Every structure is written in C-alpha cells, then in structure tokens.
Structure 1
Amino acid sequence: MYYNGVYHLFYQYNPKGAVWGNIVWAHSVSTDLINWKPLEPAIYPSKVFDKYGCWSGSATILPGNKPIILYTGIIDADNTQVQNYAVPANLSDPYLRKWVKPDNNPLITADAGENKTAFRDPTTAWLGQDGQWRILVGGKRDRMGIAHLYKSRDFMKWTEAKHPLHAKEKTGMWECPDFYPVSLHGTNGLDTSVMGQGIKHVLKVSLDLTRYEYYTLGSYNPKKDKYVPDNTSVDGWKGLRYDYGNFYASKTFFDHAKNRRILWGWANESDTTKDDVEKGWAGIQLIPRTIRIDPNGKQLLQWPIQELETLRGQKVQLRNQKLKKGDHVEVKGIKAAQADVEVTFSFPSLDKAEPFDPSWNDIDAQDVCSKKGSTVQGGLGPFGLLTLASANLQEYTPVFFRVFKAQNKHKVLMCSDATSSSLAKGLYKPSFAGFVDVDLADKKLSLRSLIDHSVVESFGAGGKTVISSRVYPTLAVLDKAHLYVFNNGTETVTVETLDAWSMNKPLEMN
C-alpha cells in the first residue's frame, strides 16, 4: 500500500527457515519502490485467532486516511481458516512499524456449508454507492473455484452475499484473488472503488492446483453483485496470465501518488528444497509493474515501473544490425549478469512464417516452445536474445519470438526457455511460453528483458506477454555472463534498435 508518502510491502515470510512454515507478515518500506528498508514483522501469530499462522491478505485505506489490514488466521491444527484484521498502533509513526490485532477478531468465519480449510486471502476492499464495503475471500467447493463476497457498512460486521461474485467449475482452490477496475480511456490506474462508464473489471485468481494464475476482463454489476467475464478470453486454466513463467500469489494496489495500479508478483525457486535450505533463502519479489488495459480491450499490458530506470548505469547501443540465419552477435560493454535490455526487431516479409499446426490449439504454448526451441531452425524466427550465456554457449537462457502462419492470420510465439540455462543438476527447467496477440502490419516485434543473476523477466510487444524465468547458471555468472542477439530463421531479421544498460544495485533506504 501507499500511505503518507511511503510504500509498504508486506509479504509471507518464515523467520525460522528458508522453506514454508512459521509464516508471519514481513514488512519493508520504501519511498521510491526501488530502495527498501526491512522492518520487524508487522503481524505474527500471537492470539487465539491466528495461533497456527498469519497467512495472506490485503490492505485498505479507510476514510480519514486510516489503513487497515485483513488477513487469514489459522486457528487450530485442523487448518481452520478465518479472516482477521489489524490496525497500526501509532498512526504518527511514518513507517507504521507496530500493528495491533483487536480482540473482536475474527471478523469473518466460514459458514456451515463452506470449506473452512479452503477459505483465505481477503482482497483490498471497495466501497459501493450503497455505502457498503465489499471484499472477496478465495475458496472452493469440490473442484469449483469460488470468490466469496462479503459486505459491511462499518468494516467490522461482515455478511456474506447470497451468491459469490464469481465461481468456475473444475478450477480448484482460488488463492490470492484480486479484483479491481481498469479504465478503457487513458493510461491512469483507478482506485479500487471506482465504478461507472468506460470501466472494465479484472478478476485474477491463483490456482493452487497448478501454481499459476489466470485473469479475465469483464463487467461488474454492483446492484446484483455479479461479475461476468467477457467472451474474449477463456475463463479457466487456459485463460490469460499476467506471466507465463515463475509467477504466483500476485497482488495489485492503487498508487494514488502517481495515479497508477502496480502489480507485485512472487517468483518461486526452480531448484530443490535442499538447495533452498543450503543457501538460506527461497523466493523473490519480481520488479513492480504498472498495469493497464490494452487499447484492444481484450487483455492487460504490463511494464516495469519507471523508477527502475534510476538504476541504469553504463549504456550500449546497436542500430540496424542484420542477423542472417545462424547469426549470434554479442552485446558488449555492459554487465550482462545484471542488465536492462530493450530491443526492436524488424523483418522485410512474413512470407517465410512456418505453418501453424492446428493440433497445437489444444496444447499450451509451453509445449509448442518445447518442440520448437531456439536451436530448431524456422522460417521467421526463432530470433531474440541469448541471456546469461556462457562464453561457449554451454549455458544460456534464450528469450525469443517465432512467427507462424495460421488460418487467415499470423500467430506469434514468445518463449523464455530454461532448458539450456544451467549445467546444475536437479533443476526445474521448463520452456516457458505464451502467444502474443499483436498486429504485425509494421513487421516489427519489441522485447524488453530484465536480467538479474538468477531471474530473467521479459516483456514482449510492449507488455502484452510477459515471462519470468528462474535460472541458476554455473558458468555464466558475474563477469563471465554474456548477452547476444540471435536469429535461427531463414528470413533475415534486423535489430533496428537495441539499448542495453548495466544495472546498479539498489541501496537500503535510510
């Protein structure tokens, strides 16, 4: 949340170990979303209503500029989940270091017919025109994912609505739901309570069964308290995703200082639990992203927050570099292990695009990428970046595009393929991928990749498709990491513009 000039990040943390358990709410603060100061935990098990754990939740700023946190408490060894609240002990403390949990908790318990062990992660509240606050709580019934809806006039006495805001069969437990408006006109974000003309709503859920997320865009009827997804995307496992890689348990907030909605996502590890214990930590927050609707109205666009650019250091450029089949050209003069790279590729024709196999419509883009990797010669593509590459390419993480000709249109595949990313054993090294809904009339594709030792975050076509990969090179580390542009397609591709920066380290805030 943003409060009185300070950004507050609360996150699930185990102070006693590197793997899940003993969960508290860790707390860090920043004035710019880049340089952070860690504080003592804000919430930790201390009462009968959270004795067995303080799980995820959200913050809301109430009238009078008063922040309040809703979170899930575990009350017994049977994993019974309830919704609690906490408030700052001292509003005059600029960092809100201490939080209190009043004794009228829990505020919400599962009704008799609900699954009390699948009832968690309350959302930021929104205020309806009827004067009632509303929140969602994630749940499930059998294999149906549910966004339970609760209402309150005073934020203390909550009543469950007659029906969920939305539910979907065969999707399993909906963790970390998020529900917020986006403007169809302009790029500004909106406060969570904004309703009216020119607005769509986003419902995002994290799928416990698959450990990835999907979202839909749709219409919210505040009188009926129902959300209806548009028919432009799938409502289910094959739906749109913020990120097609290591990305889970995300949450947005409205930054009223800059009128933007910011998305935080968590990237889990791809190595083993044993590795996590040995290194003493696991899981990272990815770079915060601004989020808005695509002008086509069918999906969201994401982009790294502008403040990230303050870390840019040494810069190098490439202009009008032609890449023939089999070419790979090194981008020299920057620290390739920590870099920000923006590149635009152009191509003279779409004629050499390979045919798209109709049977691929029934499988994930990830499966297509595993069949058509960066070393598999194509027509138009594969072309892109080889990140975190060792000198002789024993290790590298390619981020690339491949263009196919489907019936009456072209399909663009974007991959971040960890298959060759590391020589280490026992790693999860998938061919992460998503399709990019982009008009190729200008015969150009853009890519931005944020490279940081063990993570590569990539934004295709201005943020239409985003993929984050966790990789663990053994050779391509520190000054032994290299960066290349490459093309393995028969169609010559031009690096029209490439700007790359070494990235400096953030500082701990004073």
Structure 2
Amino acid sequence: MSSQTLREARKYEEALAKLISKEDRPGFHLSPRVGWMNDPNGFSYYNGKYHMFYQYYPYEAAWGPMHWGHAVSDDLLHWEHLTCALAPDEFYDKDGVFSGSAIGLPDGRQLLIYTGVMKRTVENGHLKEFQTQCLAMGDGEDYEKYANNPVLGTDAIPANGNVEHFRDPKIWQKKDGSYRLLVANLKDDGFGQLLLFKSKNALNWEFEKVFAENDGSYGLMWECPDFFELDGQGVIFVSPQDMLPEGFEFHNGNGNVCIIGDYDDATDTFVPKTFQAVDYGIDFYAHQSILTPDGRRVMIGWMQNWDTSGAHDRNLPWFGQMTVPRELEIKNGRLYQNPIRELESMRKDKVEHLNTVIKGDESVLDTEGHNPSSRVYLDGIEGRQIDMTITIHPENVEDIYDKFTIGLASDSKKHTDVIFRPKENIVKLDRKFSGSRRSIVHQRRTKVPFNNGEVKVRIILDRFSMELFFEDGAYAMTATLDTDVSAKEIYFEANKNVIIDVTKYDLSDN
C-alpha cells in the first residue's frame, strides 16, 4: 500500500510532466520527470528492461527531501519515465531516501537498497542526522518497504565510524549465491572508508571488513561507491568530497576516482594498485555501472557537480541529467570509456571532410588568443545533437601548432571551446562564453598525450551538454551547457596550419 506522501508525489509529477515538451529536454540523456535530479540509483537490468532510479525532488528544480525517481529503457538511450518509486514516508527515512542500488531476487522480485535519513535531537539539544540502510521490494513499478527496516542501523558501524555519514549501499551477488554490500562511511580522522557487509539472503547482514579506505590522499568522505571486476582486475569507483588538486589528474572540490587493483573473490580482498580520474571535465559525479545481458560493463554518471548545481534558476521545470552510457574496459592498466555502441544506431546524415587544412594566423589575435576573422566553418559541420570525430595533425611536424580550437554551440556571441595545446600535452574545456551569467566553474584542463601534435577526439553534443572522448576513450571531459539550442555553429581556429579529418553524424532521438 503506497503512502500518502508517495501518492502526492506521483500525482504532482503526473500533472507537471505534461507541461514539459520533448523539445525542452535532452534528446538522449535521461533527465528527471519533473523537478530535481542528482545521483543515479539502482542502475540495474530487471524483467527485460534497464532500470534507472535517481535522487529526486519533484516539487522544485532544487535539492529537497530526497525521493527516488524511476525510468526504464530498452537501449539506455530512449527512456520512459515511470512513477516515483520511493518517498520519505517512514520514521527511519523521513528526512530523505538517499542513494543506493538494486538487484533481482531469486523469487522474482526486484530489491532496492537505499540509505534512510532521520534527524533527531540528541543530548545537547542539537539536531543530528542518522543514516541507516533500508530495503524495498517490488515488481519493477511499485515497491514496498521492508517491515524490518533498517537492516543496517548505526550499531553496524565500526567503532571508528561516523553515524552521520553511512550511506550509498552498493549490492552484488557472488557466484555462490551469497550477497555483498559496500557502504560508504566517514572515519573519525575525517577520511572515508568503504565497509563490506555479507548476507546469505540479502535481508540479514553482518559486517565483514573494511574493504578500502582513504588515507587522505583523495578528498575527505568517499561517496557513491561501486565495485566490479573488469578484464581480470577489481575496480572501485568513488566520488570523493572536498578534493585538493593533484597536477592535472584531480581537481578541487567534489570529484571522481577509479581505483584499479587485485581482487581475491575467495577472501573478499581488494589491493589497490592505481588511482585515476574517471572524467576530467566540469560536470560528472556519483557514477554507477551495470553488467549488461551481453556482458558489457556500462557506466552512467550524474552530469552535474555540487559546486555549481545551485547556480541555476530554481523555477525551471527540471534540472539535472545523466551522462551518455559509457562502455568500460581496462587497457594497459588504465580505465577506458566510450559511448555505448547503441548510440551509433541513432546516426544519420553523415558529413565528412578529410585532409582539410585549417590555416593559422597569429597576426591579429584578441586578448583571449582568438582571431574571429580567421575562424573556419566547414559545410555541414554544425548541430546540437551530433556525434563527431576529429583527428588533428600538424601540417609541418617540424613546426607544430601551439594552439588549436574547436568552437561548439556557437553563434555571434556564444561559444564553448575545446582548446588543444600539443607542446604542453594539455586540452582545455572552456564554457565561459556559453551563456551562463554565474561566476561558477567554467574551465578545466587535463593532460592528454599528443603524438607529434596529433590527437583524436570524439564529441557527443546533446541539446544541453557536451562529452569529449580523447584517444579512443583514454580520457573523457564532460560539461553541461546553458547555451540556447539555436546556437549550433561549429568553427575551427589555429595559430599555425593544421590538417584535420572530420566525420560528423546528426543524432536522431526518434
């Protein structure tokens, strides 16, 4: 039986969603049915459909008491919104149904595991938040919360753990049929740890060990953990809060980290070997992955960041979107990611320009290093829903260019630039001229190896976002865009002659 709180949320979203046109949404990125979206939750495959739940506040395009929104898809690109799955309607989750994961049960039901948030007054009269792990079971549309919630209370936290930061459970089933659960926790020293719990039936859990922990090298609290095996390695995803920059690998604020290591399934032991960023752009957080029925590991993240997500207009009908799904692999000890291959079925109207010379001119640059009069526009190379691959070569390898720019989502006043500096092995994403009126993060740089000035990038543009994949997926950069969709020009600019090969497809969302 659904609660009054859940019925009200469903009634509200049903009414308001009718007022949002298809054209006002992304073409192929999941956005909330109405209101606010953040972290992906419960990313799973169940009863022949991909399911994506998400942190959700239907009543305003701003963070509020968290619900779980719900959508399903056949291909991870075309989504159907279902009704709100969970609402904060029990004493143990009255202040928020926080992030979690999902799995199918042997009896045919789908199990959701999430963090329930409850605030209560403690001895000193202060309001304190308690986070516990809770279950709900259902048929893929409607879910009933477990009568014995919470299944992991604050008494399950080790002595050095914090009861206010115990969240984001990630569940998986082992080959022997037993279950494991990874939960993020904050230690007394202010750094995060990932706690591993085990269960025979996914209902009754016991603490097993600390699976991994932060020694202070990567932010403070680790949020939204994911764990899986890929190409013979164990992989942990975490989203650290309050990171400090480390060269061009990690940036300030709330970030994303991939930890690759050795995993012993028999003893549930993970030994980390390498740490890398997952996405080097502006808007990427709380990534979750799934093993598809055909054996691919696919990841989706929240295409936003906490340091800028409060700068939008709260009166918008919706806010927040997910990244394009990305297929993952490990090559040479590094995580690679590329847009899911199903995206190629949306391609149409191929345009190609091969061995095209972009002539450089350093004589009349403005204060930003641009020479608008020397911008090059190529026939048919434009659009805001496109899949475009560009390979950049210097015309003279003995005297390579210092700077090459691709301007996207451009008109007479607005543009977002991808700037290549081969002599420094740096790529910069710059959206300060994209139309935003806020003083938020608009630039980010990363190291990308050039080969004598040559580099390759694949660009996925949707109406309100851009995703860049360099060197066949070795590096990714993601950013949302405020630019009006009418700004669809694309230009090229160089300070010395550059040769480019461009292949562009429009992407149809029909």
TM-score normalized by structure 1?
Answer: 0.79
Kindly provide the CA deviation profile for residues 202-250 of structure 1, in whole angstroms up to 9, marking residues without a partner as x.
Answer: 11111122221111211123344332221xx44xxxx423343210111
Cα distance in structure 1, aligned partners of 2:449 and 2:349:
33
Aligned twin of 1:325: 360
Aligned twin of 1:103: 147
Kindly provide the CA deviation profile for residues 96-134 of structure 1, in whole angstroms up to 9, marking residues without a partner as x.
Answer: 2101112111111233622111100011324165x5421
Seen in structure 2, the aligned counterparts of structure 1 residues 471 and 178 have a Cα distance that, compared at 3 Å, is same
Asked if 1:56 corresponds to 2:94, the answer is no
Shift of 1:63: 4.1
Aligned twin of 2:241: 208
Asked if 1:261 corresponds to 2:261, the answer is no
Shift of 1:64: 5.6
Cα distance in structure 2, aligned partners of 1:154 and 1:435:
46
1:87 is matched with which residue: 137, 148, 151? 137
Percent identity over the alignment is 28
Aligned twin of 1:20: 63
Asked if 1:240 corresponds to 2:284, the answer is no
Shift of 1:312: 2.6
Q: Is the 8 A contact 1:79 1:117 kept in 2?
A: yes
Kindly provide the CA deviation profile for residues 23-45 of structure 1, in whole angstroms up to 9, marking residues without a partner as x.
Answer: 11100111122221111111112
Superposition RMSD in Å: 2.3
Asked if 1:38 corresponds to 2:38, the answer is no
Aligned twin of 1:452: 462
Aligned twin of 1:430: 442
Cα distance in structure 1, aligned partners of 2:100 and 2:309:
27
Shift of 1:82: 0.4
Cα distance in structure 1, aligned partners of 2:280 and 2:204:
36
Letter in 2 for 1:413: I
Aligned twin of 2:245: none
1:419 alignment partner, SS class: coil
Cα distance in structure 1, aligned partners of 2:337 and 2:263:
22
Asked if 1:122 corresponds to 2:169, the answer is yes
Letter in 2 for 1:22: P
Shift of 1:292: 1.1
Seen in structure 2, the aligned counterparts of structure 1 residues 381 and 64 have a Cα distance that, compared at 3 Å, is farther
Cα distance in structure 2, aligned partners of 1:161 and 1:351:
59
Q: Is the 8 A contact 1:315 1:501 kept in 2?
A: yes
Aligned twin of 1:138: 184
1:412 is matched with which residue: 417, 421, 425? 425
Aligned twin of 2:401: 380
1:182 is matched with which residue: 230, 236, 253? 230
2:336 is matched with which residue: 298, 301, 314? 301
Cα distance in structure 1, aligned partners of 2:45 and 2:269:
29
Aligned twin of 2:247: none
Cα distance in structure 2, aligned partners of 1:470 and 1:15:
21
Seen in structure 2, the aligned counterparts of structure 1 residues 344 and 301 have a Cα distance that, compared at 3 Å, is same
Q: Is the 8 A contact 1:346 1:493 kept in 2?
A: yes
Aligned twin of 1:504: 508
Cα distance in structure 2, aligned partners of 1:201 and 1:273:
35
Aligned twin of 2:325: 288
1:482 is matched with which residue: 458, 469, 489? 489
Mean CA deviation greater in 167-176 or 132-141: 167-176
Shift of 1:336: 1.9
Shift of 1:75: 2.6
Q: Is the 8 A contact 1:272 1:426 kept in 2?
A: no
Q: Is the 8 A contact 2:167 2:223 kept in 1?
A: yes
Aligned twin of 1:189: none
Seen in structure 2, the aligned counterparts of structure 1 residues 153 and 165 have a Cα distance that, compared at 3 Å, is farther
Aligned twin of 1:217: 260
Aligned twin of 2:482: 472
* Structure 1 segments unaligned to the other structure (5+ residues): 91-95, 184-198, 353-378, 405-410
Cα distance in structure 2, aligned partners of 1:272 and 1:136:
27
Shift of 1:481: 2.6
Letter in 2 for 1:104: N
Shift of 1:49: 2.3
Q: Is the 8 A contact 2:278 2:335 kept in 1?
A: no
Seen in structure 2, the aligned counterparts of structure 1 residues 164 and 349 have a Cα distance that, compared at 3 Å, is same
Letter in 1 for 2:343: L
Kindly provide the CA deviation profile for residues 262-283 of structure 1, in whole angstroms up to 9, marking residues without a partner as x.
Answer: 1111122786746331223221
Cα distance in structure 2, aligned partners of 1:314 and 1:429:
35
Shift of 1:436: 2.2
Letter in 2 for 1:99: Y
Cα distance in structure 2, aligned partners of 1:446 and 1:342:
7
2:499 is matched with which residue: 494, 505, 508? 494
Q: Is the 8 A contact 1:456 1:470 kept in 2?
A: yes
Cα distance in structure 2, aligned partners of 1:498 and 1:293:
27
Aligned twin of 1:389: 410
Cα distance in structure 2, aligned partners of 1:271 and 1:213:
16
Cα distance in structure 2, aligned partners of 1:412 and 1:274:
32
Shift of 1:505: 3.2
Letter in 1 for 2:301: G
Q: Is the 8 A contact 1:128 1:134 kept in 2?
A: no
Seen in structure 2, the aligned counterparts of structure 1 residues 47 and 19 have a Cα distance that, compared at 3 Å, is same
Shift of 1:480: 3.9
Q: Is the 8 A contact 1:446 1:461 kept in 2?
A: yes
Aligned twin of 1:279: 316
2:312 alignment partner, SS class: helix
Seen in structure 2, the aligned counterparts of structure 1 residues 51 and 151 have a Cα distance that, compared at 3 Å, is same
